[in-house]
A and B are shown apart, each in its own frame.
Chain A
Amino acid sequence: MRSSVIIFPGSNCDRDMDVALKKFGFKNQMVWHNDKSIPKSDLIVLPGGFSYGDYLRCGSIASKSKIIKSVIDFANSGGLVLGICNGFQILTETGLLNGILQQNKFLNFICSNVYVKVKDKQNKYFKDLKKDVLELHIAHNEGNYFCSNDELKSLEDNNQIAVTYCGEDGTENETTNPNGAIKNIAGIFNKNKNVLGMMPHPERMIDKYLSGADGSLFFKNILDNFN
């Protein structure tokens, strides 16, 4: 499976993502934001970080980059596009995903391990995933997912909510919501479920001795579904 990771000025999880993808057998390439086209890929990843220093709104400047037109065309033709953290913010600013990531409710930068519940498995990312709750890592200041009531209803009706913050046992409530996101939302899909944006970083959970291994399940699952 061929993948491309887009690098923006200020991306800082691009190399972690490269390491993770290669570890599980993706043929990964790094692509600069100023390029016009993307090499042939089965998966495009917009990595985490602080593109353009989070100026104006997180992800807003990156969403106007030269490369983004190719990303949108790829997504609209059904290609898999994964945005992690700042990548998720960029995807909402391009309009590929609904809503926006606002500043965390309690104004704090959050850097911690969290549990997320996989809400939908009818898609190429989570189909046949062995677990329902994953332990992943978050590190963000703007992860407080917000959308209008109509958009939320549409997300729910189409099963576009991908992952939600929860406890180790899968309980979802206010105490397991780190940032104030509506309905504990940690990640969503577009309507066709080929575009996934999420705040947690699976690429930081690929070694059971260093951090945790649930990110490994995520990447292996994408590969298994592709093959």
Chain B
Amino acid sequence: MKIKVIVTLKNGVLDPQGKAIQQTLKGMNFGNVEDVRQGKYFEIEVKEKDEKKAKSLVDDMCKKLLANLVIEDYKIV
């Protein structure tokens, strides 16, 4: 089963790459861009048929490795 995870920086944590992308978009005349936050996306193939169990396993992975909870939040989608 494939589980998808999105890891993003927490609100309030400076995201210099997001800022640079935002400024570039502005420079390209995308004037409506108010903010850009960059994150990471994972697709994890788990040997598990039960979706609940698979997600709980991935949740553990997020806490232990995929996200650093000091600055990042994660979302299993």
Contacts and interface: CB of A to CB of B under 8 A. Distances in A.
Interface of A: 56-57, 60, 64, 92-93, 98-100, 102-107, 144, 146-148, 180
Given A102-B14, A103-B17, A146-B14, 13 more contacts: A56-B65, A57-B68, A64-B65, A92-B70, A98-B70, A99-B70, A100-B68, A102-B13, A102-B16, A107-B16, A146-B13, A146-B71, A180-B16
B16 A104 contact: yes
Contact of B71 (A102, A104, A106): A102
Interface string B35-77: 0000000000000000000000000000001101011000000
Classify the interface of chain A: helix, strand, loop or mixed.
Answer: loop
Contacts of B20: 107
Interface of B: 13-14, 16-17, 20, 65-66, 68, 70-71
Contacts, number: 35
B74 to A, nearest CB: 13
Contacts of B71: 100, 102, 146
A148 B68 contact: no
Contacts of A64: 65
B14 A93 contact: no
Contact of A105 (B13, B16, B70): B16
A99 B13 CA distance: 12
A148 B14 contact: no
Return the 3 tightest CB-CB contacts between A and B, nearest first.
A100-B70, A107-B16, A100-B71
A146 B16 contact: no
A180 B15 CA distance: 12
User: Counting chain B CB atoms within 10 Å of each CB, which of A64, A100, A180 scores highest?
Assistant: A100
Contacts of A60: 65, 68
Contacts of A99: 70
A107 B70 contact: no
Contacts of A144: 14
B14 A105 contact: yes
